[in-house]
Amino acid sequence: MIQGANGNFYGMTYNESDFVSGTVFEVTSTGVLTTLFTFDGANGGSPFNVTLVQVSDGSFYGTTNTGGSANSGVVFHLIVPRVETPVLNPSAGTYYTTAQPVTITSATPGATIRYTTDGSMPSETNGIIYLVRLVSAGQPPCRLLPTRADLTTAP
């Protein structure tokens, strides 16, 4: 198992039954287990003694020991669905001497955006849910976290 850039843990299981030849799973820091992919033998199987490798875009690569066209295993690429980073207008890092209206948008439909204005980091349970335009004076910094219950938060 490895820890992903988002803080969650990712790993694989080995042959679970006659119909499931292994899975790729995610475990959140709060212990929520999600199966991300199921191998059926034809698309790969038996990911035994192998590890996942996470690349810069947050996706993973891995291998299996069986499956594929010659039953010699496959190399796979797993894209983990995630909530995209919110966009600020005016853009982040711009400082003003007076309070400015700030608009926050997310490219992920249904995302909930939480923000803080005390410098603390927002989380799925900490912060104010963004509903309408806010006014920020810039000190301390406004911090953001987009979430959606069925998706991983972007790194």
- For the chain, give every domain's residue range: 2-78, 82-153
The predicted-structure confidence for 5-23, as pLDDT tens digits, reads as follows 888 899 998 876 666 788 8
Percent of the chain whose predicted confidence (pLDDT) is above 90: 15
pLDDT at 76 over 70: yes
Beta strands in the chain (DSSP E): 2-3, 9-14, 22-27, 33-38, 53-54, 60-63, 75-78, 82-83, 87-89, 100-105, 112-116, 128-129, 134-136, 143-147, 152-153
pLDDT at 147 over 80: no
Q: How far is Cα of residue 27 from the mean position of the Cα atoms in its chain? A: 11
Q: Give CA–CA dist 115/131, Å, rounded.
A: 11
Q: How far is Cα of residue 7 from the mean position of the Cα atoms in its chain? A: 9
What mean pLDDT do residues 75-98 have? 79
Evaluate the CA torsion angle 129, 133, 137, 143 in order and state its sign: positive
The predicted-structure confidence for 40-58, as pLDDT tens digits, reads as follows 888 888 887 778 999 988 8
pTM beyond 0.75, yes or no: no
pLDDT at 146 over 70: no
17 versus 30: which is more confidently predicted? 30
